[in-house]
Amino acid sequence: AGAAFAAALGGGVSVSVGTAPAGAEQLAAARSQPVSVLIGQSLIVSDNTLAEMLARLVAVESGAGNTFGALQESVVTALDAYGIDTTGIIIRDGSGLSDDNAVPPSYLTRLFVKINARDGDLGVIFDGLPIAGGPTGSLSYSDRFTGDNAVADGSVFAKTGWIDTGYTLSGIIRAADGTPLTFAVYALGDVSDNAKQALDTITAGFFRCGDNLSNS
């Protein structure tokens, strides 16, 4: 990266690397925010760049490297720790922008059961989820949970998803009768922007149905 930057500058700029002498004064330092904070920032507004960086960090920490090709094994191996069948999961990037990514909705509903229970460190995921009608985040926008769907405001905690070939919404509902529900709904294929409202309508229906939809 340093060499590419120097080449872009042009003008015969040379770059050298040295070692600071003992006792040298530190001029400046910068530290990343905790990973837990970065996760929340990525989730609330669907920051795809940050999501990619976090996925690469998983790959690096697993020893697989930091390439796109390293993500499948490293991410799925990390997910295996939660005891949910990962069959069918395909990870081509960390941002979620590749058409070739695939996560079965049944996997997400089971994972959100654990997130809702704050199993292990998964509470950080719950804390970062957008909230329907909330003050910030991708479910606070003026085209989400409007009209009759506003009945679910404050009761849907969910991650939005969008690429050219689909819209998705998955997360946790505190239903009207108090039942906690997990859900994952996808609109895939040749879809338009109004798919978001369709997903909101289905989700608001889940909110109204409550225990009638619960496995328990």
Radius of gyration of the chain (CA): 21
The answer to whether residues 211 and 177 touch, using CB atoms and an 8 Å cutoff, is: yes
Q: Could you tell me the domains of the chain?
A: 33-103 (no CATH), 105-211 (3.40.710.10)
Per-residue pLDDT tens digits for 146-160: 999 999 999 999 999
Instruction: Tell me the C-alpha distance between 140 and 104, whole Å.
Output: 26
**Cα 104 to chain centroid, rounded:** 15
Q: In what order do the strands lie in the sheet with 166-174?
A: 156-163, 166-174, 180-188
Per-residue pLDDT tens digits for 64-80: 999 999 999 999 999 99
Q: Tell me the percentage of the chain whose pLDDT exceeds 90.
A: 89
Q: What is the pLDDT of residue 16?
A: 82
Q: Give residue 216's pLDDT band: very low, low, confident or very high (50, 70, 90).
A: low
Per-residue pLDDT tens digits for 77-116: 999 999 999 999 999 999 999 999 999 999 999 999 999 9
Instruction: Tell me the C-alpha distance between 140 and 202, whole Å.
Output: 17
Q: What is the pLDDT of residue 199?
A: 98
Q: What separation in angstroms does the CA of 165 have from each of 52, 72, 188, 195, 205? A: 19, 21, 6, 11, 24
Average pLDDT, rounded, for the chain: 95
The answer to whether residues 158 and 172 touch, using CB atoms and an 8 Å cutoff, is: yes
Q: How many CB atoms lie within 10 A of CB 130?
A: 24
Q: Tell me what the mean pLDDT of segment 140-148 comes to.
A: 97
